[in-house]
Each structure stands twice: as C-alpha cells, then as structure tokens.
Amino acid sequence: MPGLIERYRDRLPFAPDDPVVSLQEGSTPLVPAPTLSERVGAEVFLKVEGANPTGSFKDRGMTCAVSDAVRNGAEAVICASTGNTAASLAAYAARAGLRGAVIVPEGKIATGKLAQALMHGARVIALRGNFDVALQLVRELCARQPIALVNSVNPFRLEGQKTAAFELLDELDPIHPLDALCIPVGNAGNITAYWKGFQEAGAAPRLYGFQAAGAAPLVHGAPVEQPETIASAIRIGNPARWEEAMAAVTGSRGAIQAVTDDEILDAYRLLASREGVFCEPASAASVAGLLKHGAGDARRVVCVLTGHGLKDPQTALMQAGSVVPCEPDLGAVEQAVLG
C-alpha cells in the first residue's frame, strides 16, 4: 500500500506536485477480537495502529505535518510529547533531512519511545514539568523562532489522522455500518480527527472516548493540575483540542468516560494473553472502557489500539509473569517446561 497522502490525496490538502515525506504509514490491520466480542455481546474489532512505521497512530498525522513543513521551507520541527509524537517526529524529520527537537516530561516517557527519538537523531529535551507545561512552552517558543510546531494543534496532524476513519469505513461499512468507536483520549487530537474523517465520509458512529481516571479533565469538566496514570501516553491534564473533542462526542451522541489504572491494566493483559495483540497501556483504555460500560445497543464496535506494546517494555515486565530459571541439562529443562 502507498503512504496516506498518496492513498487519500483527493481528501487531503496536498496538490500533486507537493513534496511528500512518507514511511508508508497507515493501512493498518483491523483484527477481529473474538474474546471481547463474546464478553460484550457485539462484534468487536481492533484497529491496530501499533503497526504504523514508528509503532503508533502519530505517523498518520506526521506524514502530513512534516510534508507541509517541507512545502513551507521549514528547516526544523518541534513538539511537546508524552513520547509517541516525539518518536514519530524524530523519524519523519530524519527522513526529510530536517532538524527535530522534542520536549518530553522528564522520567515520564516509556523507554522505547525515548530510544526511538534518540536513534532518529532528534534533540531530546527532558523538561522538569508535565506535558501540559511542555506544550505551553513550545507554543511560546514557536511564536519567537522559525520552527514548525507539529503537535496536534497543527491542523495537518488532524488531516492525516482522519484517514483512519476512512480506512474503517472502507473495510467495514460495505457489509454492515460501524455503530461505535472506542478510543483513548489524551490531548484530544485523535478523537477530533476521527470525527472529522467520519463526518467527511458521511458516517456517524458513536464516539466513546476514555481517559485515565487520574488524568480525566474532560470527564470532570476542568483541567487537572497534576495528572497521574500508569498510561504515560495520556498523562495530560489540559487537552489542546478540548472543545473539538466535546463537540465530537456530543455530535455523535457518544460519551467521554474515565477508566482506572487497574481497569486499563486488566484490559492490557487480556488483549495480550487472549487476543494475541500487544498494545501499550494507554491504548488499552479503549478496551477497558468498552468492558466497563458495555457496547449498549451497538452491534459493531471498533477499539482503536493507538500504540504498540513494545513501546513500554517496563510496564509489560511489571505486569507479566516471571521467567523460569533452568540448569543446562535435559531433566531440568523437562521439569521447567512441564512445570
């Protein structure tokens, strides 16, 4: 499959001659989830966004934001990030030959994401403050310096991310309409982008957004000063796309609800051990929400798994069983294997 801009150029703001920076993102698998389907009494699918080139849905937005930056003659791109946007920016900047800088909350991003951003050669700045502070500072910096901001406040990010909605409709709707979409919410760019995509395609599944209970400003209706959750990707207390996310939920007759860290981790382990799909903790919030609140009258549901499980090996090892030590002789191996 070609990259997103090539695949959906007629629905994206790019002309045929515009430069395209792509890593063949998008066209991710839509995997049926039999265990979840049985538990909630509806047909459940997983949109596996971890299959994107850098392991998260951010690549959909980044191909558009970085292509636009190149079109505008930018030399450097920057973002604030809980990790995945940083990894994606770093990869696309490397591909485009741009300088990349990322500002991340110190000690609060998953190891894999940090490794990616560094390997791709971005300047990684560890801020002694949370994501919300980082975003505020980076916005102010970009008002002073000629650096392109590629957070989801950049409209090209949403343009790229809306293509996930197109893919879902292309695959599912010809057979039976999609009734509901479950999605984790952090800075609220992705839920906004899905709604834009669905609306442009004339579809309106219910959007159910899930925030971590310790970082649930949209549920409380007020910013959270000190957001906390094991799902570091969505540890955000003041989403930039607040109004748009609420409009998406109201317009689709859906809801924004909270799930606890325990519920997130239960779903995280269930997905890996029963469905065979390893996502990162933030992604499992979509499934945790579905399990907690049920499918309602929906017959066909998609849960968006936003990032790959390998992004965050530390949380995985804390949640998983332990290895079995063994002496190098057949008897010991036999015993170790058979338990």
- Give the interface with ligand F0G as residue ranges (CB under 6 A): 56, 58, 81-85, 152, 184-190, 233-234, 280, 282-283, 306-307
CB of 7 vs ligand F0G, minimal distance in Å? 21
CB of 190 vs ligand F0G, minimal distance in Å? 3
Nearer to ligand F0G, 69 or 236 (CB): 236
CB of 23 vs ligand F0G, minimal distance in Å? 17
Nearer to ligand F0G, 47 or 206 (CB): 47
- Count CB atoms within 10 A of the CB of residue 28: 21
What's the distance, Cα to Cα, between the start and end of the chain in Å?
A: 45
- What residues have CB less than 8 Å from 161, skipping those under 6 apart? 57, 60, 61, 152, 189, 190, 193, 194, 197
CB of 81 vs ligand F0G, minimal distance in Å? 3
Nearer to ligand F0G, 43 or 86 (CB): 86
Nearer to ligand F0G, 43 or 156 (CB): 156
Nearer to ligand F0G, 3 or 309 (CB): 309
CB of 176 vs ligand F0G, minimal distance in Å? 27
- Count CB atoms within 10 A of the CB of residue 337: 9
CB of 236 vs ligand F0G, minimal distance in Å? 6
- The answer to whether 206 touches 302, Cβ cutoff 8 Å, is no
Nearer to ligand F0G, 43 or 289 (CB): 289
Nearer to ligand F0G, 154 or 187 (CB): 187
Nearer to ligand F0G, 100 or 184 (CB): 184
Instruction: Report the alpha-carbon distance of residue 14 to residue 309 in Å, rounded.
Output: 33
- The answer to whether 81 touches 307, Cβ cutoff 8 Å, is no
- What residues have CB less than 8 Å from 90, skipping those under 6 apart? 100, 102, 116, 117, 118, 119, 120, 121, 122
CB of 112 vs ligand F0G, minimal distance in Å? 11
CB of 195 vs ligand F0G, minimal distance in Å? 12
